[in-house]
Chain A
Amino acid sequence: MTNQTRRGFLLSGGAVLGASALPFLKALPAQAASGDVIVAVMGQTINSLDLHRSGTNRPSYQVAVNVYDRLVSFGTKETPDGGLSYDYSVIEPEVAESWEITDTEMIFKLKPEGKFQDGSPITAADVKWSFDRAVSLGGFPAVQMKAGSLESPDQFVAVDDLTFKIKMLRPSKLTLPDLAVPVPMIINSKVALANATDDDPWATEYLHTTPAGSGAFKVAQWKPGEQLVYERNEGYTSGPVPAIKRVVLREVPSPATRRALLERGDVNLSFNMPNKDAKELSDMDGVTIQTTPIENAIYCLNPNLSFEPFKDKRVRQAIAWSVPYQEVFETAAYGRGKPMWGGESTTPSDIAWPQPFPYSTDLDKAKALLEEAGYGAGFEVPLSISLGQADWMEPVALLVQENLAKIGITAVIDKVPGANWRTASLVEKRLPLHLETFGGWLNYPCYYFFWAYLEGHLFNSSNYRNEEIETLTAETLHMPVDDPEYAPKIKRMIEIAWDEVPRIALWQPALNVGMHDVKDFEYWFHRQLDIRNLKGV
């Protein structure tokens, strides 16, 4: 024992003391299929451990999911292909034990045994502080809270240690589900406040690198740009303690490398695989690919109404009839996802959203419509794509361009740098014909319409306005789904959206996750890696 190497010490120490005594993972084999440890890879990078901080990117939201809890959560259901998915229709307790909802307020009773990871109890004051923070720091969290009619700190009241009250601005079906999205996470306010300064009253600097939550996992190590190591919270109180002890999440930018790692079995899980790899690996032994269509999301081709010819709905319909849907789906999506074309009727039979639009590829019909609209001679239009999403936008644009040429429209492909894309397409809404990808977290058609069809709203990059849709969306947005008026109104909205096609649906995208010696990956609407349910095989 005298001249041990450091590694030798940690190996033996790890065996004797139990791995939890280590500061973090140091001595584990790369082939982690021991059932206790999972090695996962993803292409993106986590840039903060605090979702509320400005500048925190999407991939970082998984930390909020795995390390923090919310008052409530969604249930779990099985998808048709045997995978797991969150269940939008079921709201389950997380930090809250029970709740009562009236038209004016929501009252939550917290679990009395609820503990943060440092062992201190979860109180209503923590919830109030966290909610205040979510609406006060601005940026995306504030916007998302607002979607659930949660706008001001005055709405949140800590009645006593275990009772938390939300004063509602309006009765809305969106409020409760909005409490289960990653944003209203519950932070240990005692720890946060101890590290807050006058310049930084919400402790953004501290929580940025040091989470203080009650979630199922702790962050054992974070090396920005390289890896994040999660370690199970043995004293988890908001749900069952996870089956997996540790998850090592490595950032590997190259998809080819991620694929090789998964194929070789050196990693257990590859998150958000490219469609091509998912398709090619789906028959491979030992690798399970779970492909889940992303709810409430559509990849669209948007004709902008500020461009003269597109003011005429017949021209927009002509474009919709000209898209080579099947080729687009095969080439750009490798057939992963759901077709959103070829609907049978021009009036929807139910309120499922998204559902196939009543268009398919019919160039004669497209030509006739153009003729009718007085554009028989065709016109020239730039077709804009984002270089940041070139993987699917470029093949789509090329195929669409080819077919538009056949009906006399000359489309010139305009490549916009990723950093400018949002400003050009969503803020200035100045791209005459472009591709767009909105997906709503809250899974209601009215919520999709709110963002994507109302004039001036962010994702309505087509500058579309229709009086009837404006009215109907406002009426249905907060209306309960079981209201008898809800379904007819939604159907009418879908019918208009189909007829006027300011957004031409191409397909519903899917999230691919490749697994090797792990099971029970659960899909969530936020499309980030939720590790709480994972199990070794």
Chain B
Amino acid sequence: MSGRLKSIGLRVLQAVPVVIGVVVVSFVLTRALPGDPAVYFAGAAADEQSIQQIREALGLDKSLLQQFLIYVGDLLHGDFGQSIMTGQPVADDLIRKLPASLELTLLALCMSCGLAVPLGIMAARNPGSLQDHLCRMVVTAGVSLPTFFTGVLLIYVFYYLLGWAPSPLGRLDFIYIEPDTVTGFYLIDSAIIGDWEVFFGALKQLALPAITLALFTMAPIARMTRAAMLSVLSSDFIRTARAAGLTERKVLYGYALRNALLPVVTTLGMVFSFTLGANVLVEKVFAWPGIGSYAVEALVASDYAAVQGFVLSMALLFVALNLIIDISYSLIDPRIGFEAR
């Protein structure tokens, strides 16, 4: 076990150069963006003098190197800087908005996996069958509908026509008190204090956007499950298992699925990362105060600190995610040693 801890530590150390790289690249890239934040924030009627005042206030009159050193110095103190767009410290913005996006994405992925993996298995068991075609149809339809379209459609049907869903006004209707922040995930925070009313309130708000995202992300997971299961099911050890007279259940879930999971988990990691970024449209439609729309607005406004903070937090998140995926590899398949690489 200590071997594993050691190698986790090693992996974390290996992430350090990546993070440094991200800090440098995000700094340079934001400066390379067209547009001048001082002009943007001075407002439409500002004159040269007032633009200059703002440029100085933002520290943009200093040389790039100086700006970079100040930025890195602040980062080392845990200060991500001040977003000009929201007027809040970037760290505060991220702490508020990241859990909103994560909660939505994770729930959507859970739903998506819950549907897509069985669908994929079903399709792989009988390739070419009706179920296979059904599965292909469902996931193709899901991925071909853009999320904003599915979102608006779901709102139209379940909120506007049927009135089942609550008003698409963000994370919690204002009749509820938002739970005290522990994790920032409303579902978890409300469960901790046992406030089930808020829990279900938050769940109701989550339902439509999560379904929207889940529909969109089902395709890669289902397809990957199907492909992996197909190749595993045709391999020798499954034939042996079947020949040995093991139950179909044991063969499928005990041997085949476990071996087919590796590529699925890899895909899941990738899907997670792009979903977190691709959330923007869903967030806009459901007025979700998430990280995606925050980043896009920051980019449009050339809000350097916010963009850098976003990129950096995403990088840290992905480093963590990859670590988790690597660890789960070795849990799923003991042949993959975490240390041996």
Interface residues of A (CB under 8 A from B): 5-7, 10, 25-30, 39, 41, 45, 47-48, 53-58, 138-140, 142-144, 208-209, 223-227, 248, 250-254, 256-257, 260-261, 263-264, 266-267, 388, 417-420, 422-423, 426-427, 451, 458
Contact = CB atoms under 8 A, between A and B. Distances in A.
Contacts of B84: 47, 55
B200 to A, nearest CB: 12
Given A45-B86, A47-B87, A264-B160, A138 B53 contact: yes
Contact of A224 (B36, B88, B174, B285): B88
A391 to B, nearest CB: 15
For chain B, the bracket of interface size reads 35 or more
Nearest to B177: A26
Contacts of A226: 170, 289
B97 interface: yes
B87 A54 contact: no
A7 B160 contact: no
A252 B50 CA distance: 32
B57 interface: yes
Contact of B45 (A6, A56, A143, A227): A143
Given A260-B156, A260-B160, A10 B177 contact: yes
Contact of B40 (A144, A209, A267, A422): A422
A282 to B, nearest CB: 19
B295 to A, nearest CB: 12
Contacts of A260: 155-156, 159-160, 168
A387 to B, nearest CB: 9
Interface of B: 33-36, 39-47, 49-50, 53-54, 57, 84-88, 93, 97, 148, 152, 155-156, 159-160, 163, 166-170, 173-177, 193, 195, 197-198, 283-287, 289, 293-294, 297, 300-302
A347 to B, nearest CB: 31
Contacts of A140: 42-46, 50
A30 B167 contact: yes
Nearest to B281: A254
Given A224-B86, A419-B34, A54 B54 contact: yes
Contacts of B159: 260, 264
Contacts of A143: 45-47, 50
Given A140-B45, A419-B302, 8 more contacts: A6-B177, A28-B174, A41-B169, A55-B85, A139-B46, A250-B287, A257-B152, A419-B36
Contact of B300 (A28, A30, A57, A418): A418
Given A48-B87, A254-B284, A417-B35, A54 B45 contact: no
B287 A30 contact: no
A7 B285 contact: no
B209 to A, nearest CB: 11
Nearest to B34: A420
B86 A251 contact: no
B197 A7 contact: yes
A6 B174 CA distance: 14
B50 A30 contact: no
Contacts of B168: 252, 257, 260-261
Contact of B197 (A5, A25, A26): A5
A252 B285 CA distance: 8
A248 B54 contact: no
Nearest to A139: B50
A55 B197 contact: no
B36 A423 contact: yes
19 contacts: A7-B175, A28-B174, A39-B174, A47-B85, A53-B87, A55-B84, A57-B43, A139-B41, A140-B42, A140-B45, A143-B47, A224-B86, A225-B97, A256-B152, A264-B159, A266-B167, A417-B34, A419-B302, A420-B35
Nearest to B299: A419
A257 B86 contact: no
Given A6-B195, A253-B284, A264 B167 contact: yes
B173 A30 contact: yes
Given A139-B46, A225-B97, A250-B169, A29 B86 contact: no
Contact of A253 (B35, B57, B156, B293): B293
B175 A224 contact: no
A34 B293 CA distance: 33
A27 B45 CA distance: 42
A238 B43 CA distance: 30
Contacts of A54: 41-42, 53-54, 57
Contacts of A27: 175, 177
B113 to A, nearest CB: 28
Contacts of A209: 87
Nearest to A260: B160
Nearest to B167: A266
B54 A139 contact: yes
B175 A257 contact: no
Contacts of A45: 86, 297
B54 A55 contact: yes
Contacts of B49: 138
A458 B49 CA distance: 13
B45 A458 contact: yes
Contacts of A256: 152, 155, 285
A25 B175 CA distance: 8
Given A256-B152, A261-B167, A422 B39 contact: yes
